[in-house]
Amino acid sequence: MKIKVQCPAKINLTLKVTGKRDDGFHNIESIMQTISLYDYLIISVEKSDKFEINLSGNNNEVPYNEKNLVFKAAKLFIDNTNIQPYKIEIYIDKNIPVAAGLAGGSTDAAGTLFGLNKIFDEPLSKEKLHEFCAQLGSDLNFCLEGGRQMTKGRGEILEKLPFEKFSLSLIKPKNLGISAKEAYSKFSQKNSQNFQSKYGSKDSFKNDLEWAVIDDYKELQKIKNLYSSSIMSGSGSTYYVINGLFEKLDGYWLKNNLYAVNEGIKKVPL
């Protein structure tokens, strides 16, 4: 049995950090939007004497082992369904950059839960899928549903918003990835010091995490200096511009002429 799953990237149209939680994470209010940049998962399963999860793919920055959120999602699925032992092979066709603020890891993990649930005739309800998405990370619930949503809590509380189609372009320093942990740590530290960015007050930024990291990275400043209307997505280091294009820059990955999509993870033909 085999399935192909399309997993969209997301951008944060807004991202406000509203407080620290008891579990160490931060509460946010963020309008997220899925876009026409996709990873694809090819999931194949065959009966076996024991469970096996084997990952492979086309990107050497991705760990194809138990550290990968895709592996964790497959394990969570196995542990919570009564399926017989299977050998599960997952090929990750990666087009979304890694550590980019575009939910590449999260969308693949949500796609894994979705795909395995389809292959095994949906032993998990939609509510259960969302419960497991929330266990694995902050953006998975949104990626599963897609479209335009106001997300709250850690990102797992969704409120669907009217969809508006628009075009956008992305740019990212090739050798700079910023982890969510780093971005939120810098936010906490600078927020407690009433830090003033040279690009304006925190309230002048659509994304609180951009305010927290931009003064520390010349690569991000270069983007902002050239494209003042550009906005960082998530914890970075990708910037987007709506209804505009980026020029080629040495040392930067870019993708022009993308658009907003009103869907989340879905099965596509093999």
Catalytic machinery residues? 10, 139
Q: What are the distances in angstroms from CA 74 to CA 28, 136, 142, 162?
A: 27, 11, 19, 32
Q: What residue type is 230 in one-letter code?
A: S
Report the side by side order of strands in the sheet with 252-259.
231-232, 239-242, 167-173, 252-259
Asked if 168 and 229 count as a contact pair (C-beta separation under 8 A), the reply is no
Q: What are the distances in angstroms from CA 179 to CA 118, 174, 200, 235?
A: 31, 15, 23, 7
**What is the DSSP pairing of strand 26-47 with strand 2-20?**
antiparallel
Token pair 């990750």: residue: 92
